Amino acid sequence: MTKEERLELVKHLTKTRPGENKPFEAPKFYYQYYKNTTVEEKVIKTSAGDTSIWLIDKIGRQKNNAVFINIHGGGFVAPHMERDIAFCRRIAAELGILVVDISYRTVEESGFPVACHECYDCVKWVVEHKDDLSIDTSRIIVGGHSAGANLTVGIALQAKQKKEFDLALLVLDYPPLDLFTDPADKPESDKTMISPQRARDFNLLYVGNETNAKNILASPVLATREELMSLPETLIYTAGHDNLRFEAERFANQLVEAGVQVTVRRFLNSGHGFVIGCAGEYNEAIYGMKEAMLKVVHRIENVSVKYDTADGDPTFTGEE
């Protein structure tokens, strides 16, 4: 594929993206999170060059606490967006922790494995700047949405191999974890929002060839039991109207077989991208996500969380 063909395909996928012409509009109750959080963009050095990250912090947060590192989705094609900042503001505000939001290189600039290594470098930068950021590096949570969830697993696999830092929790939203199998050969390929051809184009732009597609940093479902052993506790969300649920749930079983603590939940009435897009059962999903994170934040095994949902305005009241 020539550079021109590559750019033309990126342009086509971007232009035909569902809801592309509709700007993201955060739910009204999100405005409270904008009031009590700050956002600072930084440019850091990574193996890919200059990389933008956003530090989203709750005003007056307790120092030396957990940190959540968020990785956006978009099929490795779409860039970082306002909806990512909105999600991160909510997490920072309701959990009282620092959130680091990564803007990695999309396929318009480079393919596999550049973004995977770039995101790993960003987490390493956070660890190396723990004092400046006032975080506890024994409580690092990494999570991502769609393509970002794929990159999240890639970070964990690299961390296991390199032993430069430890992760406390992985959060995977509707992850694509098998970039090797032809999308048309996957279950219910005709009943999902992302058509087989569209998924094929996403995969082609990112991995480029069969060798890359077989790499476990691109297709974690191909990892051996030994390669998955000792990965961090993992929370996996899938959507009932998204056929990526099959490979994600398969991966969950593989983690269980490898001795990893896993929580997996399928949201029956939601589709791909529902959490970050504030659609379907997104509130319920975020509540569960925060419960898992609070175990890391407070270093406790069990957390009970209560929410006041009067007037459609969920407010974290927390109860340990």
d(CA 320, CA 293): 13
- Predicted confidence (pLDDT) at residue 318 exceeds the cutoff of 80: no
How many domains does the structure of the chain reveal? 1
Confidence of residue 51 (pLDDT cuts 50, 70, 90): very high
- Predicted confidence (pLDDT) at residue 6 exceeds the cutoff of 50: yes
User: What is the end-to-end Cα distance of the chain in Å, rounded?
Assistant: 55
- Predicted confidence (pLDDT) at residue 316 exceeds the cutoff of 70: no
Residue 141 structural domain:
3-316
Name the pTM for this structure: 0.93
> What are the pLDDT digits (tens) for 257-290?
999 999 999 999 999 999 999 999 999 999 999 9
**Which pLDDT does position 306 carry in this prediction?**
56
For residue 180, the tally of other CB atoms under 10 A from its CB is 15
Check which CATH number belongs to the domain holding 29 and give it.
Answer: 3.40.50.1820
- Asked which of 7-21, 94-108, 159-173 is least confident by mean pLDDT, the reply is 7-21
Distances (CA, A) of 288 to 15, 60, 166, 250, 282: 33, 25, 23, 21, 10
- Predicted confidence (pLDDT) at residue 300 exceeds the cutoff of 80: no
**Which pLDDT does position 319 carry in this prediction?**
39
> What are the pLDDT digits (tens) for 211-247?
999 999 999 999 999 999 999 999 999 999 999 999 9
User: What is the chain's percent helix, strand, coil content, to nearest 5?
Assistant: 40, 20, 40
> What are the pLDDT digits (tens) for 60-87?
999 999 999 999 999 999 999 999 999 9
d(CA 303, CA 320): 5
